[in-house]
Structure 1
Amino acid sequence: MSETTRRRKLIEVALPLDEINAACKADKDRKTGTIRNLHKWFAPMPLPAWRALLFASLIDDPEDDNLRVGLLDLIKRLVANGADLPDDETLVEARDRLEKQFPDGLPPVLDPFCGGGSTLIESQRLGLPTYGSDLNPVPVLISRTLTETLPPLAARPALHKGQEPESGLFSLGPSGRFSGLVNDVMHYAELVRAQALDVLEPYYETLAGESPIAWLWARTAACPNPTCGVVTPLLTTYWLSKKSGDRAWLVAEPDGQGIVLRVVSGRADGAPAESLKIGDGVFACARCDATLDGPYLRAEGKAGRLGLRMICVVANVGKKRIYRSPTDEESSVLQRIPTDAEEFDVPINIDGQSIRVGLYGMTSWGSLMNSRQRLTLATFADLVAANRERIISDGGDETWATAITTLLGLAVGKMAQFSSSMAIWRNQPQAKTEAALSTHNLPMTWDFPEVNVFGTSVGDWRGLVKTALRALPFVSDAPTASATVIQGDARSATLPSPGLVATDPPYFDAIGYADISDFFYVWHRRALRTVHPDLYGTIATPKNGELTAVASRHGNNKREAQRYFIEGFTETFRNLKGQLLPELPMLVVYASKEQKAGKGEETRWSAILSAMIAADLEITGSWPIRGTTEARMVSAGTNAVSSYIVMVCRPRSQSAQTCSLADFNRSLRRELGSAVRDLQAASILPVDLAQAAMGPGMQIFSRYRAVLDQSGARVQVDQALRAINSALGEVLDEQEGDLDSESRFAVRWWATHGWAPGAFGEADKAVRPLGISVDDVVRAQVATSHANKVQLLGRSGLDRDWIPSNDISPTAWEAVHHLADRLIDGRGELEAARLMGELGPLQDPAMELTYRLHDIAAKSSRTSDQERYNALISAWSELIKLGSTAATTVAGRIF
């Protein structure tokens, strides 16, 4: 197909972003009953997004508005059920459409960075042959399980009917198609548990009548004061539980040469003393005034002198939870554990991205667990490995045995998240254990819970297996869609025939995937190396060849790491370009953990885009997909992915021309404004606007063979990104001109003074060029004037009965701040939605003003204000939807 006759795909023209983002929010908000329950992976893109994107990438744009509306409606129905799957009728319609689009056979789909399997499972759901790969065995195992191992086993009967514990607990989709597999998985999970208890019971003594939930531990260090030397428990808090009416905490009291920890529990009120933590990794001695600072504790850790002390036992007695001090026998349990095996000594890359534990002498994966946790994990892994032969001897075939053993092996990996010193005890609102790796890094932890894997609470074996099985309803039931998932390098990934490439590659240096994956790999390997021998030929995950920019792999040279990343992805994109069916685009999803623009963010985007440009790819479309879980306030230091940017790419035309930098800048200023308005209309978060604007900006840049500066030198991507950011700033400045005069004054005054008062004379000079006076601004309730000072209104003390129709001179400034006040400080969404429904023609300028104010707040480091404006835009679409309802109920009142 020639470039002149090639038709654009729907994704290059239109997408129902609001509906896709709503479905993604529902998917992210759901904690149980998603494919993420199968096993931890990093920054997975929600299933509804991939379902919509893949379909829109394969279907031609009809070039007719009415026909396009029909296709967009079909996509809306594909994601209409949010975190749940679309109905069968809609799926059949989507598959039929694809078959008509490709009468000679559906094209295969390739994801060479298969991650948690989202891309593969949704391409398979649409009926497409699916191929995935990754250099890292952990995502290969997850993706292979979901798309290759499980689909053929739907509707197969159980080997052990009538013996399955609690089999009715699971919602397994249409006709319970995996009920037989679930029954057998739970059957063998119970056998593994019973066998493990036989081995481990001597180390899990409990008091009569109690069912332990967790044992809480703290690291200890001797005071550096030679006249003291007391061994101090390094507790970050004395709180155990803040449950209303049933509080519990610790009291530390010096006693002779030691520290006694006493548990106080069952209190309706009261609170503990301040903890010994006085800074990040800095503690006070529990006896004297000495400080156990970072250098001292790091030296103690490397010398092996940091100890462990059990500080509390959390247990159920009947239906009541208790907190008590441990007995001497419980406290000394670690001394009775057998000597560790060599397999626990697999080294950690202590220089890896966001890995801090090595600073304290924790240099092997086994050192992240206490000895009972290591023994427990090893016991379960060995029993899972041995269980495969039992399944076969019970009459199961190889595929059945592989599936059950794999699911149990993945549960062992999940167990490691709860059974390590990286887990966290959350003392509110409902005190419980939080799994390790929630933030994709390995920080130093000073106190931690050891869950009871034989119990009935968070992190126990039965619960982990059940949770993993809740991913099964999302496995594709497409009757003819095959899948193949292998370990391999993206630079050499291939399809058996040309098709579609869709992938979510590593985010530069944001996550050290291979380094952190060893947390799971060492236990997966122990349980599954005979089941998946192709994945476990090495004692740790492959590090060489991983396409990240982790500086520790390059002598801590960031520039060299960046060069490696760009060259590796240039080679990758050139290879992937060769796998494309000529009529199909390539989808590349990119994002960053950063929530604020800056040099690091620019470097990350510059690197991936440089590789695309060097591989002669042209960006023909870009879409921001919401990745947050809620209309959140963005806290300082937040590292959650907020939006995924989907870039639609084609091989650049052979006839592409060069252009001058001046022409490129003119094109930016001509085209970027409408693109930014489209992004704002789609409620892209202000914090993500700069990222999202890179897409349409790079569409312009990448359409040229080269952009040349005045000297004739090629303009590099980082320079183009700066030009795009500059043009974005101009667009936001121009939008300010659309505001009423009072709001324009307020923007300029706020940029200089914030919420602080300023001199009346300065305000008078600022307001006169706008054709109004300070009195006009005051009458409009945008500011106050008192004692020769002018101060803006909007941060507090607002009248929550304000509506524009009762205001003589309503302004966009008032609309924005009344909305934010009601959403964040008032009664929430419903009250803010009521006001949104009253804004009328103020709605659009208010939205533009919110983006403008967020931009100013970000550049001025006004974090609190930045958070408020971001939260308002995050909720904007929902407020419009709720505001259009004729009757909205707020706290029993009907409006």
Structure 2
Amino acid sequence: MIWDYAEANPFANSSGNLIRMADLVAEVLEQSCSNGPVIGSCTQFDSTASIANEPAIICTDPPYYDNIGYADLSDFFYVWLRKSLVTIYPELFATLLVPKKQELIASPFRSNGSKSDAAAFFEAGFTKAFLRIRSSQDQMYPLTVFYAFKQEEAEEGDTGDQQVSTGWETMLEGLLRADFQVTATWPSRSERPGRSVAVGTNALASSIVLACRPRPEPAPITTRKDFLASLKKELPNALRNLQKGNIAPVDLAQAAIGPGMAVFSRYKKVLETDGSPMRVRTALALINQGLDEVLSEQESEFDPDTRWALAWFEQHQFDEGLYGEAELLATAKALSIAGLAEAGILHSRAGKVRLLRRDELPEDWDPTSDNRLTVWEVTQHLIRRLDKHGETDAGKLKARIGGMAEIARDLAYRLYTLCERKGWAEEAGYYNSLVVAWPSLSSVPELFQ
């Protein structure tokens, strides 16, 4: 990430002007103190050194691995603040630039170019901080941790490369080494859609809140086989509840970490087949694998035409492929290319086959008169209406589709995950947008009753 700083005119009418900023602060104070003065204090602590002298209720939003170097960013402002405030706060502004050595961030630049050393520094700092938190946390209440981190790396596993999040791995390693266990999780819509990092990208919309308590002693030890059995038993219901709560597809992978780690963290150790303790990195890869399996199992709800389209899309997206390959796939699902063309989902010509693009779908399509209605077709038409005509028009179409619309939402989750893994960010954005807009689409019929 390259930092730059654009300074706005403080007396202009644009966002960030001086009057608007003062108004925002005043509004907060007015609302906060409307029922009389609020007594409290604000104190800065180094969480690796001390937290509180008496039991405290702790809620933390910890550093995000290597996302932002706040110490470096602060130099943009520090040098000017120091000029005017060094005589008033000499201890705070004792250095020429912001101190950077103790910042908890996985920066190879500060670790002689070594990624592994940077990760080790970050993890050690987390462990130390969580140990301090554990000693200060009021045992009557859980520790709550807000976290959101999307970056993933390939992890070679038993079934090929699997995706794991380095930021989540190191944060959780520190949490578990301090003998915490995850007891509950839920997504919190904490990220503003208009922030710069979200413009033109599938950026996370939610943070995941982890409720953690000290792991009881003695905690059980289990095997990889039993851990996978528990994961297979508990993860599907947890993910289905997240989907029912309309979690955005872009957030689903990190939301799955919560219930998955709730299983993993209840054990003191999970032993691999060779007797060694399972790493958090491996557990995260298995949780991601479990998410894929759950979404794949939902394909049983789809009609055969949709299952064919999904398999073809995975290989070709909306590009052309060979007729023979398409026919072979269709035959395996007891379908025909002619029938799929009749269903309105593909185009076949001169030995080539491709899925119809959304801009090729008929504008006057009526689901009530479609003799071969498919979940694939429903999903693509809903996205087209939403993209071209907005939520009201898409909501009216959803109402006419009936019960199949809910299955179309499941397909949108599946397609988003597939596109994200394939690196098809633009296409993934359409499926994410459909799920995010779902509550609004569902309320449209009520507005016209």
> Could you tell me the TM-score, scaled by structure 2's length?
0.89
**Which of residues 575, 580, 594 is equivalent to 2:132?**
575
Q: For 1:156-211, what per-residue CA distance to the aligned partner results, in whole angstroms no more than 9, with x for missing partners?
A: xxxxxxxxxxxxxxxxxxxxxxxxxxxxxxxxxxxxxxxxxxxxxxxxxxxxxxxx
Instruction: Verify: 1:484 aligned to 2:41, yes or no.
Output: yes
Q: For 1:722-759, what per-residue CA distance to the aligned partner results, in whole angstroms no more than 9, with x for missing partners?
A: 11111111111111121111111110111122212333
Q: Which amino acid aligns with 2:338?
A: D
Higher helix share: 2
Q: Match for residue 767 of structure 1?
A: 330
Instruction: Verify: 1:555 aligned to 2:112, yes or no.
Output: yes
SS in 2 for 1:485: coil
Which entry has the higher C-alpha Rg, 1 or 2? Answer: 1
When residues 635 and 817 of structure 1 are mapped into structure 2, their CA distance, relative to the original with a 3 A threshold, is: farther
When residues 568 and 656 of structure 1 are mapped into structure 2, their CA distance, relative to the original with a 3 A threshold, is: same
Q: Where in structure 2 are the equivalents of 1:634-649 lying within 5 Å?
A: 638=201, 641-649=204-212
Are the counterparts in 2 of residues 819 and 832 from structure 1 also a CA contact under 8 Å? yes
Instruction: Verify: 1:589 aligned to 2:146, yes or no.
Output: yes
Q: Which amino acid aligns with 1:736?
A: E
Q: Match for residue 363 of structure 2?
A: 800
Q: Match for residue 464 of structure 1?
A: 18
> For residues 881 and 713 of structure 1, what CA distance do their matches in structure 2 show?
53
Q: Match for residue 263 of structure 2?
A: 700
> For residues 800 and 836 of structure 1, what CA distance do their matches in structure 2 show?
15
Q: Match for residue 256 of structure 1?
A: none
SS in 1 for 2:145: strand
> For residues 798 and 539 of structure 1, what CA distance do their matches in structure 2 show?
63
When residues 466 and 804 of structure 1 are mapped into structure 2, their CA distance, relative to the original with a 3 A threshold, is: closer
Instruction: Verify: 1:739 aligned to 2:302, yes or no.
Output: yes
Q: For 1:196-242, what per-residue CA distance to the aligned partner results, in whole angstroms no more than 9, with x for missing partners?
A: xxxxxxxxxxxxxxxxxxxxxxxxxxxxxxxxxxxxxxxxxxxxxxx
Q: Which amino acid aligns with 1:837?
A: A
SS in 2 for 1:492: coil
When residues 711 and 676 of structure 1 are mapped into structure 2, their CA distance, relative to the original with a 3 A threshold, is: same
> For residues 447 and 199 of structure 2, what CA distance do their matches in structure 1 show?
35
**Which of residues 487, 492, 495 is equivalent to 2:52?**
495
Q: Match for residue 27 of structure 2?
A: 473
**Which of residues 94, 99, 110 is equivalent to 1:542?**
99
> For residues 803 and 620 of structure 1, what CA distance do their matches in structure 2 show?
47
In the TM superposition, residue 588 of structure 1 has moved relative to its aligned partner by: 0.6
In the TM superposition, residue 422 of structure 1 has moved relative to its aligned partner by: 3.2
Q: Match for residue 620 of structure 1?
A: 183
**Which of residues 401, 412, 417 is equivalent to 1:855?**
417
Are the counterparts in 1 of residues 193 and 205 from structure 2 also a CA contact under 8 Å? no
**Which of residues 210, 228, 231 is equivalent to 1:665?**
228
> For residues 95 and 43 of structure 2, what CA distance do their matches in structure 1 show?
16
> For residues 410 and 262 of structure 2, what CA distance do their matches in structure 1 show?
23
Q: Which amino acid aligns with 1:546?
A: E
- How many residues of Structure 1 are paired with residues of Structure 2 in the alignment? 439
Instruction: Verify: 1:604 aligned to 2:161, yes or no.
Output: no
In the TM superposition, residue 711 of structure 1 has moved relative to its aligned partner by: 1.2
Q: Match for residue 408 of structure 2?
A: 846
> For residues 657 and 577 of structure 1, what CA distance do their matches in structure 2 show?
20
Q: Which amino acid aligns with 2:341?
A: V
Instruction: Verify: 1:422 aligned to 2:5, yes or no.
Output: yes
In the TM superposition, residue 866 of structure 1 has moved relative to its aligned partner by: 1.4
Are the counterparts in 1 of residues 82 and 93 from structure 2 also a CA contact under 8 Å? yes
Q: Match for residue 353 of structure 2?
A: 790
Q: Which amino acid aligns with 2:18?
A: L
When residues 809 and 628 of structure 1 are mapped into structure 2, their CA distance, relative to the original with a 3 A threshold, is: farther
Q: Match for residue 158 of structure 2?
A: none
When residues 481 and 633 of structure 1 are mapped into structure 2, their CA distance, relative to the original with a 3 A threshold, is: closer
In the TM superposition, residue 675 of structure 1 has moved relative to its aligned partner by: 1.5
SS in 1 for 2:217: coil
When residues 593 and 527 of structure 1 are mapped into structure 2, their CA distance, relative to the original with a 3 A threshold, is: farther
Q: Match for residue 393 of structure 1?
A: none
> For residues 443 and 94 of structure 2, what CA distance do their matches in structure 1 show?
54
Instruction: Verify: 1:811 aligned to 2:374, yes or no.
Output: yes
Q: Match for residue 831 of structure 1?
A: 393
Q: For 1:598-626, what per-residue CA distance to the aligned partner results, in whole angstroms no more than 9, with x for missing partners?
A: 67962111110111111111111112223
Q: For 1:358-387, what per-residue CA distance to the aligned partner results, in whole angstroms no more than 9, with x for missing partners?
A: xxxxxxxxxxxxxxxxxxxxxxxxxxxxxx
Q: Which amino acid aligns with 1:610?
A: E
Instruction: Verify: 1:867 aligned to 2:425, yes or no.
Output: no
> For residues 369 and 126 of structure 2, what CA distance do their matches in structure 1 show?
58
> For residues 97 and 44 of structure 2, what CA distance do their matches in structure 1 show?
14
When residues 636 and 725 of structure 1 are mapped into structure 2, their CA distance, relative to the original with a 3 A threshold, is: farther
Q: Where in structure 2 are the equivalents of 1:871-882 lying within 5 Å?
A: 871-882=433-444
Q: For 1:75-94, what per-residue CA distance to the aligned partner results, in whole angstroms no more than 9, with x for missing partners?
A: xxxxxxxxxxxxxxxxxxxx
Q: Match for residue 33 of structure 1?
A: none
| Unpaired segments ≥5 residues, structure 1 | 1-353, 357-420, 424-433, 436-450, 888-895
When residues 627 and 806 of structure 1 are mapped into structure 2, their CA distance, relative to the original with a 3 A threshold, is: farther
Are the counterparts in 2 of residues 683 and 873 from structure 1 also a CA contact under 8 Å? yes
Are the counterparts in 1 of residues 149 and 165 from structure 2 also a CA contact under 8 Å? no
> For residues 883 and 564 of structure 1, what CA distance do their matches in structure 2 show?
55
When residues 633 and 673 of structure 1 are mapped into structure 2, their CA distance, relative to the original with a 3 A threshold, is: farther
**Which of residues 212, 228, 240 is equivalent to 1:677?**
240
When residues 876 and 794 of structure 1 are mapped into structure 2, their CA distance, relative to the original with a 3 A threshold, is: farther
Instruction: Verify: 1:508 aligned to 2:69, yes or no.
Output: no
In the TM superposition, residue 836 of structure 1 has moved relative to its aligned partner by: 2.1
> For residues 268 and 42 of structure 2, what CA distance do their matches in structure 1 show?
36
Are the counterparts in 1 of residues 60 and 145 from structure 2 also a CA contact under 8 Å? yes
State the Cα RMSD in Å.
2.8
Q: For 1:298-339, what per-residue CA distance to the aligned partner results, in whole angstroms no more than 9, with x for missing partners?
A: xxxxxxxxxxxxxxxxxxxxxxxxxxxxxxxxxxxxxxxxxx
Are the counterparts in 1 of residues 204 and 251 from structure 2 also a CA contact under 8 Å? no
Q: Which amino acid aligns with 2:135?
A: G
> For residues 701 and 653 of structure 1, what CA distance do their matches in structure 2 show?
14
When residues 641 and 782 of structure 1 are mapped into structure 2, their CA distance, relative to the original with a 3 A threshold, is: closer
In the TM superposition, residue 709 of structure 1 has moved relative to its aligned partner by: 0.3
Are the counterparts in 2 of residues 836 and 883 from structure 1 also a CA contact under 8 Å? no
In the TM superposition, residue 774 of structure 1 has moved relative to its aligned partner by: 2.8
Q: For 1:741-788, what per-residue CA distance to the aligned partner results, in whole angstroms no more than 9, with x for missing partners?
A: 111111011112221233333323212333333333223222233344
> For residues 724 and 593 of structure 1, what CA distance do their matches in structure 2 show?
15
When residues 459 and 780 of structure 1 are mapped into structure 2, their CA distance, relative to the original with a 3 A threshold, is: closer
Q: Where in structure 2 are the equivalents of 1:88-107 lying within 5 Å?
A: none
Q: Match for residue 160 of structure 2?
A: none
Are the counterparts in 1 of residues 65 and 105 from structure 2 also a CA contact under 8 Å? yes
Are the counterparts in 2 of residues 822 and 832 from structure 1 also a CA contact under 8 Å? yes
Are the counterparts in 2 of residues 632 and 871 from structure 1 also a CA contact under 8 Å? no
**Which of residues 501, 512, 521 is equivalent to 2:78?**
521
When residues 602 and 722 of structure 1 are mapped into structure 2, their CA distance, relative to the original with a 3 A threshold, is: same
In the TM superposition, residue 636 of structure 1 has moved relative to its aligned partner by: 9.5
When residues 726 and 771 of structure 1 are mapped into structure 2, their CA distance, relative to the original with a 3 A threshold, is: same
> For residues 673 and 870 of structure 1, what CA distance do their matches in structure 2 show?
20
Q: Which amino acid aligns with 1:508?
A: Y
Are the counterparts in 1 of residues 153 and 166 from structure 2 also a CA contact under 8 Å? no
**Which of residues 777, 782, 788 is equivalent to 2:340?**
777
| Unpaired segments ≥5 residues, structure 2 | 156-162
Q: Where in structure 2 are the equivalents of 1:67-86 lying within 5 Å?
A: none
Q: Match for residue 159 of structure 2?
A: none
Q: For 1:477-511, what per-residue CA distance to the aligned partner results, in whole angstroms no more than 9, with x for missing partners?
A: 26464322233311133234323110111101100
SS in 1 for 2:43: strand
> For residues 645 and 755 of structure 1, what CA distance do their matches in structure 2 show?
34
